[in-house]
Structures are given as C-alpha cells and as structure tokens.
Amino acid sequence: MGLPSGRQAHVGGPRLFPASLWMPLEMSPFGCWGLPTALLALFCCPGSGEEFEVHMYPEQLVVEPGGSQLVNCSTSCANPKTGGLETTLTKTLNQSGPQWKQFLVSNISQDTVVHCHFTCFGSQKLKSLNVSVFYPPKQMLLKIQPTWVAVGKSFTIECHVPDVKPLESLTLTLLRGKETLCNKTFTGEKNDTQGATATHKGMAHREDGRHNFSCHARLDLRSRGGDIIHHVSEPQMLKVYEPTPDNQMVVIISVVSVLLFLFVTSILLCFILGQHWRQRRMGAYGVQDA
C-alpha cells in the first residue's frame, strides 16, 4: 500500500521517505532532478523531527524562607504531548500555552531541586533548577568595649550576625566614619545557618571621639542567581578622654606634700622659738650687768 503524499512512516524502525520520492523519475515534476531536489528539501526542512529542547526560567533561584517564585517551563517541540513541573514544594499552574507553562512555587523553606519535563515524539526530556534558601544579615549586633577609654588605651569593636546563609557569601566590614578598619570573609557549610563575628582591636586617639563606628554586611548572591544584599548596623560612639594621674600616685604625692609641709613648719617653729629664747636670755644678762 502506498503512503500518503507528504507524510512519514516508520516500518520496523527505519524512516521511510515521502511517497512522492517513490514516483518514477519521468513522473516527478522535477524531471531528472526530482530525487536530489527532494532529498535536499528533506535535509533543509526536516519537518517536525524528533529533537527538541526543554528550558527553564530562571536558570537559578534564590529566595528567603517561606518565599514564592514564578517558574517558567518551555520547549522547542511544536506540539508536546505532556509537560509539567515536578517538585516537593507547593505549586500552582499560573498560565500556559502550547509550548510553555508557568507555575507559582511557594512555601520554599529549604534548598531543593525542581524539574521541568515535556514529552514529544514518544521521548521525555527534563530540565532541573537548583533552588537555594538564604538568610539575610538583618540583625547586626555592634559592641564597643570599653565605651569610655583614655587616649592611648586599647579598645575592641565586635560585630556579630546571629543567623546568616550562605556564610561563604558574607563579608563583614568594620568602619570608623567612612574609613575601613577591617574586612572579614567567611567559610562554612552551604546548607547550614550560622553566626558570624568580626573583631577589631585598636588604640584610642583624640579624634576617635568625633566619629561614628558601624558594621556593614555584604551578602553576595550573584553566583546563585540573586543580587548583592547590604545591611548596616546602628552607629555607635566611642567616648575618649585625656588620661589623669593614677590615684595611688596622687595619694603618695599628697602624703609627701603634707610631710614636707610639716617638716618645714617644724623647722620654722624651732627657729622662731630658738630666736625668742635667745632674746629673752640676752635681756636677762643685760639687767644683771646694770
């Protein structure tokens, strides 16, 4: 039985040419060029074919805990038989077309993988999307010890972020005004929420009391499909004062001063009394001579 013109069929696996190619050369509208022309047409315009691709957008996804995101699944197959999104997360079909479907994925609480799939010409293809959950450094605890410090004495600045993820994407910067005191990057397990601390020890200067101290957190999520997230702590002031003499030294100086005063006073009294006693004796001798 002949095949309908312009259609393809499989018999025992091999692909057959369209029926027009089995026409005698004298019946072909192309004459002696009919077969080469038809082969060239099949090569350049293979029709539906069996090769197709599956695409996902976005290609990477990073969200905060409990967040939601639209995920698009599409295919190059002109008429896919089936298609959809496979995930353990809550999903809702938002929109769809002949070659695409859009899903709302919600309640994302942990790192996971979602899969888009389409079936075309009896074969199925998958595309996977890595979903990462991040914890931004919202809470930043800045501490200065001591808050009162004398010029030339040491003090410590500590910045602590209780919960952040991914830790290896975090950089903490300690600032005096706009001046950078120190930068610290971190390493850690990608799947864990961890705390991070940056510490700086310095020597107090008079001008330190005129500047705010702060901590800046930078979470770089670009490698995971996100953006750079910035957070800055509340500024704090360091109170700087001029050093005063040591209390023990003040006591010693005071005691020495009192003792010296008493010593000098006693010498003066002895001198005055001695002079007074001498004058009295001299007066008595003058009376006797008379």
- Dump pLDDT digits (tens) for 126-178: 999 999 999 999 899 999 999 898 898 999 999 999 989 998 889 999 999 99
pLDDT tens-place string over residues 202-226: 999 888 888 899 999 999 999 888 9
Partners of 97 in the β-ladder: 100
Residues 157, 95, single domain; the answer is no
Domain co-membership, 164 together with 126: no
Same domain (yes/no): 158, 80: no
Residue range 87-100, pLDDT digits in tens: 999 999 999 999 99
**Confidence at residue 277, expressed as pLDDT on a 0 to 100 scale:** 74
Query: Cα separation of 171 and 181, whole Å?
Result: 13
CATH of the domain at 86: 2.60.40.10
In a domain, 287, yes or no: no
User: In terms of domains, do 109 and 146 share one?
Assistant: no
Average pLDDT, the chain: 80
Q: Give a yes or no: residue 102 inside a domain.
A: yes
Closest by Cα among 114, 127, 125, 79 to 99: 79
* Residue 115 falls inside a structural domain: yes
Structural domain for 74, as ranges = 54-133
Residue labelled with tokens 């770089």: 220
User: Does a structural domain hold residue 37?
Assistant: no
Residue 40 lies in a domain: no
Q: How far is CA 209 from CA 73, 152, 153, 202, 245, in A?
A: 58, 13, 13, 13, 21
What tens digit of pLDDT does each residue of 51-69 get? 899 999 999 999 999 999 9
Q: Of all residues in the chain, what percent carry a pLDDT higher than 70?
A: 76
Tell me which of 221, 241, 261 is where a domain ends. 241
Model confidence band, residue 14 (pLDDT cutoffs 50, 70, 90) = very low
Does 145 lie in the same domain as 121? no
Q: Are residues 128 and 147 in the same domain?
A: no
In sequence order, the 6+-apart residues with CB closer than 8 A to the CB of 30 are 37, 38
- When pLDDT is cut at 50, 70 and 90, the band that residue 30 belongs to is very low
Examine residue 15 and state whether it is found in any structural domain, yes or no.
no
Q: What is the pTM of this model?
A: 0.62
Taking residues 277-284, report their average pLDDT: 70
Q: Is residue 97 part of a domain?
A: yes
Look at residues 133, 159, 186 and tell me which one is the last residue of a structural domain.
133
Q: What are phi and psi of 31, to 5 degrees?
A: 65, -135
Average pLDDT of the residues in 183-199 = 82
As for how many domains the chain has, the answer is 2
Classified as helix, coil or strand, 146 is coil
Look at residue 20 and tell me if it is in a domain: no
